Chain A
Amino acid sequence: MPARPGREWMEMKIWSGSNLRNHGCVPFCRAMTVAILCVLSSCAWGQSQKDQVCQGGYGGGCGTAPSGRNEPRQPSARDLEVERHNQGIHEYNAAVDAYRRGDYATALDLYQQALATLPHDPDCLAAVPRTRAVMAYKKGDYATALDYYQQALAVLPRARYLLDAVASIHGMMAAQQGQAAWNRNDFAAALAFYQQAFAYYPDNTWRDNIALAQNALDNKTASGKIQRIVDSLPKPDAQTSKAGNLSFDDFGGSAPANTKKGLFGTNVSDPKLVARATEPATVGTDTKAGDQLLSAAKTAEHGDDLTPNYDKGTGVKEGSLVFLKSGAVDLSTFSARAREDTEIISTAKVLDELESERSQLERERDALTKKRNAAPSKAAMKKITKELDQKEAEYQLNLAVISAESQKLEKRHREIDTVVEAPKAK
């Protein structure tokens, strides 16, 4: 952020103004010198004329004493004039001292007193608005300061220090606008205002700010150009690779090649079972394994119950991936014989524990996903992603074990209710 001229500059101006003021008060000083010389000469005359005692405090007011009498004489008009000058000078000098101390309120008061004493003195006339200008400047009220400086300039139109102060205030006001433009990222305007400020007053701060604004403007222009260049890169969809004519069937493999004949049946799957992006798939009556699993995955994404996809479909072939309903295994649907089987009871218990673990893992995984999505930095995101990968691996492992245990349960259930019972029925 560009800096503004600091206190040093202001103090420099003040001193500079003060020095220049002395330079500008040559006529006044001359008058003072004349007055002092008059006083001294009067005193010397008086002293030299000891009998002609100067009465009273009117140093210059001595006259020839009447013979035989030693009465104080009344001050002459000249004496009073000199006295008034002296008083004005004292007040003025006291104001200068206060001004130099930075006590502008006192300085203003004394300057005003000096002006009352010497109402036609140009220095006093200029000093009052100049002091008011400095006070306004100190408050950051540059417009008022400028008004006062211009009043002072009307009295002393050639005073260099006043001309400098006016230029400096103009520069400061332009720089203020530059600062505002900088803050709203309008670097072109900021550059123009800082250049204007520098033209009014060649301060180093404005020069530095010009460089900063120029640099920012260059960067902004370059960024726009580079962004356009990057945007011209081919879009991913438009350049999807068409390498080779390979298909899944080319890799042989152990997976069934005929996708129409699903693991769960021979009919084409219910088209309504196509997984939907925002809600669980509709369950058909004769479905392929892929449909079921895909549907289950989509269902799981929404945190819904997985059971309907499997229980209502025909996906009961041995070895199929069966997802059990979260919570306790519902043994009430089993036969009495199956419900009493120790293996089924123990497997159901294990499954309950695994389901609890899965719920916990799911919650942790979801929490990590949210955390990752809101990661404040790339490093944090990487770290959380690593944790998430680990959690996902745990989750998948848990699912695999659930699947194995479920199959075990299902197999045992069938053994009891069909394989074992059937011969007995005969």
Chain B
Amino acid sequence: MRNGRSENGECAKEVELRNRFVLLMAVFLVCTVVPAVAQLSSEAQLVIQVGKDAAQQKDYLAAIRYFEQARVLAPNAPEIYGYLGLVESKVSGRELRAVAWYAAYLAANPKADNAAAVEAAIVELLKTSGNNISTLMRTWEAAAASMPDSADRGPHTNGWRRDFSREEVGEWYASYGSIEDARRIANSIPNPYMADGVLVQIISTQLRSGDREGAKRTFKLIHDATSKESAKEKFDHAEKLRNDDEVTSGAAVDDWTQLLEGGLRGEMFTDLSASMHPSSTDRSDLLASGYSEPWIMVGQLSYVANNLGSMQRKITRMLKVQAAQQGTP
């Protein structure tokens, strides 16, 4: 044997390479094919079935609990994310949670046959959520306009006036990119300093979107010197503002489950109505702490609207990153 070549003409190295290739192929098949056909444990299947039955009886909250239980039993089964997305989408105020589950399903199973249908459902859910945010913002605005136009007594509430509440609404409109609404609010606030606060936020949003000329025009409307200084700082850090919008994570199942266990815990509308009910523990606690009732109510609205809006923005960015990474439109 010369140069390691066998009698039948095969090099030993080649044989070894071929064997390795066969082994690698086998491993590849095991890793790819086996999980795809892997059956869930009978226990997980049972729990899923119970969840489906609950959903058929329109007991969606129970169905969610069962599917969550199934997820614990079968943490790597993407279809459970799909089931969760489906049932969460049936509960009002949980649209963003449904989106997150669907996104987790697509993250785990990007080539799923129903990917297009799931993406369409996501678009629809985001639209519904956007409508919810819009409704909440209008409600918050109306509530802020109903605030007493006098100093509010009690700890931490001194200085809370109608204008102050409206300023916050205007700032959030601007923050969500609804410049027209923000301008409308700024124009309607009699206190020039508080109107300036809205204008500064409008500038921030305009710079974030790259509309420097628009930001300059808004700057001319500012009255107060301090507000002007604050706005100038926004111009100085325009680049940073744009970068803040970039999200680097959001293509893995864990990113979505973390979001579901964090900012997306609970439902928005039902939480809101519970927290704003006169018998709510939160409300009575805050009243006992000296907050006035209108302040508490407007505060709850702002909390829900802000939370929902922030989550929607974050999810939209994460979906964008996920789509880019998966090469989907």
Chain A residues within CB distance 8 Å of chain B: 212, 214-215, 218-223, 225-227, 229-230, 232-234, 236-237, 239-248, 250-256, 259, 263, 288-291, 293-294, 297, 319-321, 375-378, 381, 396, 400, 403
Contact = CB atoms under 8 A, between A and B. Distances in A.
Among A248, A293, A375, max chain B CB count under 10 A is at A248
A396 B139 CA distance: 42
B47 to A, nearest CB: 7
B38 to A, nearest CB: 7
B46 A223 contact: no
B114 A241 contact: no
B161 to A, nearest CB: 11
B135 A233 contact: yes
B103 interface: no
B281 A378 contact: yes
Given A215-B152, A291-B53, A239 B48 contact: no
B53 to A, nearest CB: 4
A254 B43 CA distance: 12
A219 B148 CA distance: 6
B92 A241 contact: yes
Given A244-B89, A251-B114, A223 B42 contact: no
Interface string B77-96: 11110110110011111010
Contact of A254 (B77, B98, B269, B272): B77
Given A233-B135, A252-B113, A246 B294 contact: no
A254 B121 CA distance: 22
A252 B79 contact: yes
A349 B157 CA distance: 63
A253 B86 CA distance: 14
Nearest to B125: A243
Given A222-B146, A254-B39, A236 B92 contact: yes
Contacts of B316: none
Nearest to B282: A378
A407 to B, nearest CB: 9
B105 A251 contact: yes
A248 B54 CA distance: 12
A165 B152 CA distance: 35
Contacts of A321: 42-43, 46
Contacts of B270: 236
Interface of B: 38-40, 42-50, 52-55, 69, 72-73, 77-80, 82-83, 85-86, 89-93, 95, 98, 105, 113-114, 117-118, 120-121, 124-125, 128, 135-136, 139, 142-143, 146-153, 269-270, 272-273, 276, 278, 281-282, 285, 292-294, 297-298, 301
The majority secondary structure among interface residues of chain B is helix
A136 B113 CA distance: 92
Contacts of A243: 89, 95, 98, 121, 124-125, 128
Contact of A248 (B42, B52, B128): B52
B49 A288 contact: yes
Contacts, number: 183
Nearest to B294: A222
Contacts of A259: 49, 52-53
14 contacts: A222-B148, A226-B294, A230-B273, A233-B135, A236-B270, A244-B89, A244-B125, A251-B78, A251-B83, A253-B80, A254-B40, A263-B46, A291-B53, A381-B281
Contacts of B146: 222, 225-226, 229
Contact of B43 (A232, A233, A288, A400): A400
Contacts of B278: 227
Contacts of B297: 223, 226-227, 230
Contacts of B301: 230
Contact of B153 (A212, A226, A236, A400): A212
Contacts of A290: 46, 49-50, 52-53
A214 B150 CA distance: 10
Contacts of B276: 227, 230
A223 B117 contact: no
A294 B47 contact: no
A378 B53 contact: no
B293 A223 contact: yes
A288 B53 CA distance: 11
A372 to B, nearest CB: 12
A263 B150 contact: no
Contact of B117 (A220, A250, A293): A250
A244 B47 contact: no
A236 to B, nearest CB: 4
